[in-house]
Amino acid sequence: MRTIWLAADGSAVEIIDQTRLPHGFAIARLETLADAAHAIRAMLVRGAPLIGATAAWGLWLALCRDATDAALAQAHATLLATRPTAVNLRWALDRVRARVAPLPATERAAAARGLAIAMCDEDVALNRGIASAGLPLIRAIAARKRPDERVNILTHCNAGWLAAVDVGTATAPIYAAHDAGLAVHVWVDETRPRNQGASLTAWELLNHGVPHTVIADNAGGHLMQHGHVDLVIVGTDRTTATGDVANKIGTYLKALAAHDNGVPFYVAAPSPSIDWTLHDGRREIPIEERGAEELAQITGRLADGTVASVSVLPAGSAAANPAFDVTPARLVTGLITERGVCSATAEGLRTLFPGHASKP
């Protein structure tokens, strides 16, 4: 199944509510612009490509009620303000607005719906492209292994099918390798504070039958030092035209450890995640600060089966929660895009995307 779709009655959008995973599975119905904005902000949907897809559908929901210029502008602004780091949000909103703005108000909602459907299908196609581009990297490592050895891949956060419309980005080559019969094993960073690795990536891999082990975020460096990681693949929320990568907090530390240990560090970067206007990720990419409660509390299942949140900090301690960090391009071995693998440089990106020359 996909993560987002038009409801059967044609008047709403349905999503998998990711705040309920892995201990529950629930579908949520989005009927209004406010519902879509809430779903993104409260992370019922999350992951850069899915944030973009939900925003596109959110504009449609807004236009169904009011298709005036003022309503379009207000809906665009409301959705754009939900989460700052993933550039897919702006990319999707601008694309839908550019399509519908020249149309008479009576035609806007239908055009937005058509484009949202097309963008969701496109997302899946892009991710299949990443699967094809990334599979040879895993195959090459597998070819150097003994028959009884597996390819050990470390990933951070969730850049799987739950983070996209389907297939995922960082997981796309992993699923392709597993489906092709290669012996792969995934080290899954738990990804505090929200635990997207432990809750979502592990759930995905389990359901797909991919061997995996969840590790504490701090274990990756140790595993790399001891030769237990062949390759790192992570996703991206925003990649600059020069190859700097913003991704879930902690990605930078994994890149440093990979660099120190000679472990290849790849970023699965579909083109909607590339911000061609930026050239210095650390200075220019807005980093989302989320609420301290995400750090102060942890949610899990109790022995009696109920799901509950508990505090893990002493009452009164301050907590800070920067949600993303920037990995400089020099630490990135390569970008896996839907058009192939390139170096994390302006030149590498220009070679694959000549029409998108970086804008000063």
Residues contributing to the site for ligand MRU (CB under 6 A): 46-49, 86, 157, 159, 163-164, 169, 196, 235-237, 247-248, 323
Give the position of tokens 């790849």.
266
Closer to ligand MRU at the Cβ: 111 or 157? 157
For the residues of 113-134, what is the DSSP string, one character each?
HHHHHHHHHHHHHHHHHHHHHH
**DSSP designation for 220:** H
Closer to ligand MRU at the Cβ: 26 or 101? 26
Q: At what angle do helices 171-179 and 105-143 cross, to 10 degrees?
A: 60
Report, in Å, the least distance between residue 62 CB and ligand MRU.
22
The pairing of beta strand 324-327 with beta strand 245-248: antiparallel
Q: Is 46 annotated as a binding residue?
A: yes
Q: Are 245 and 327 in contact (CB under 8 A)?
A: yes
Closer to ligand MRU at the Cβ: 39 or 241? 39
Taking the alpha carbons at both ends of the chain, their separation in whole angstroms is: 40
Closer to ligand MRU at the Cβ: 22 or 49? 49
Closer to ligand MRU at the Cβ: 54 or 169? 169
- Report the C-alpha gap between 201 and 190 in whole angstroms: 9
Q: Is 146 annotated as a binding residue?
A: no
Report, in Å, the least distance between residue 353 CB and ligand MRU.
18
Q: Is the dihedral of CA 338, 40, 22, 186 positive or negative?
A: positive
Q: Is 303 exposed, middle or buried (0-12, 13-18, 19+ CB in 10 A)?
A: exposed
Active site residue 237: yes
- Tokens describing residue 58: 């959110």
**How far from 351 is each of 15, 125, 241, 357, CA to CA, in Å?**
36, 21, 12, 9
Q: Is 48 annotated as a binding residue?
A: yes
Helices (H), 4-68: 33-41, 48-65
Given 237, 244, 275, 325, the catalytic residue: 237
Q: Are 79 and 53 in contact (CB under 8 A)?
A: no
- Report the C-alpha gap between 95 and 123 in whole angstroms: 14
Report, in Å, the least distance between residue 10 CB and ligand MRU.
28
The residue sitting closest to ligand MRU, measured at its beta carbon, is: 235
Beta bridge partners of 248: 324
Closer to ligand MRU at the Cβ: 40 or 182? 40
Q: Is 196 annotated as a binding residue?
A: yes
- Tokens describing residue 86: 């993933």
Report, in Å, the least distance between residue 49 CB and ligand MRU.
5
Annotated binding-site members: 46-48, 83, 196, 247-248
Residues belonging to the active site: 237
Annotated binding-site members for substrate: 46-48, 83, 196, 247-248
